[in-house]
Structure 1
Amino acid sequence: MYIQFSCSGGIANFDLTFQTDTDELPKEKTKELLDLIEQSNLFSLELSQGEVATIQGADAFLYELRIEDDKKKKSFLFTDITAPQEVRPLLDYLRNLAIAEKMRE
């Protein structure tokens, strides 16, 4: 599964990105990531829930997420305010992976 993620905004005006193919991650990270994707029900979201994201407040994060596998390909745009509750653990996990990657640079 290919995942492309970006997070921008917030008080510090973050600009974080992370992309990977789950085949390239360590097994434990792949398992956790796939579990979070399943728990988030991303592929069941109505497009209207994930398509429109307007930033409300100067400190909100904007999340862009694209997920592809052999059968499905979906893109999402969320803010801290518009992200459904079940998607937030996935966004937090991906943001932490992006931070870790940026710190290695």
Structure 2
Amino acid sequence: MHIQFSCVGGMANLDLNVVIDTDELPQAKRDQLQHLMETADLSNLSLGRMIEAKAKATGADAFSYKLDILEETEKQSFTFTDTTASGKVRPLLDYLRNLAIEVKLAE
């Protein structure tokens, strides 16, 4: 699975863009990511709750997220902000943001 993750905003005006190949992650990180994705239940988000890509985070320290998940031939896209992400999705976004920072620091 490939995950394209984008996180922008916050007090430091963070601008993270990373593509994560889950097959290249260590097993423990892959398992944690899979668990968080199952808990977030992204595949069952109703279209009415999907947020348009134009959504902006509010507040000086809020983030906007874009998440594209590609599994074989199926692609799912999601856009959230700190204020629109449900409590089930937030742990996944936090994990992906920290993983993206880790990837960027290793480059």
Q: Same fold (TM over 0.5)?
A: yes
Question: Which secondary structure does the structure 2 equivalent of 1:58 belong to?
Answer: coil
Question: Which secondary structure does the structure 1 equivalent of 2:48 belong to?
Answer: helix
Structure 1 runs (4+) greater than 6 angstroms displaced: none
| 2:41 is aligned with 1:38 | no
TM-score using structure 2 length: 0.88
- For 2:90 and 2:67, locate their aligned partners in 1 and report how far apart those are by CA, in whole Å: 12
- For 2:13 and 2:30, locate their aligned partners in 1 and report how far apart those are by CA, in whole Å: 29
Partner of 2:57: 55
- For 2:56 and 2:77, locate their aligned partners in 1 and report how far apart those are by CA, in whole Å: 16
State the 1:55 CA deviation.
2.2
State the 1:42 CA deviation.
0.4
**Sequence identity percentage:** 54
Partner of 2:13: 13
- For 1:68 and 1:48, locate their aligned partners in 2 and report how far apart those are by CA, in whole Å: 22
Partner of 1:97: 99
Equivalenced residue count is 105
| 2:76 is aligned with 1:74 | yes
TM-score using structure 1 length: 0.90
| 2:76 is aligned with 1:83 | no
- For 1:82 and 1:2, locate their aligned partners in 2 and report how far apart those are by CA, in whole Å: 24
CA contact (8 A) 1:5 1:94 kept: yes
Unaligned 5+ runs, structure 2:
none
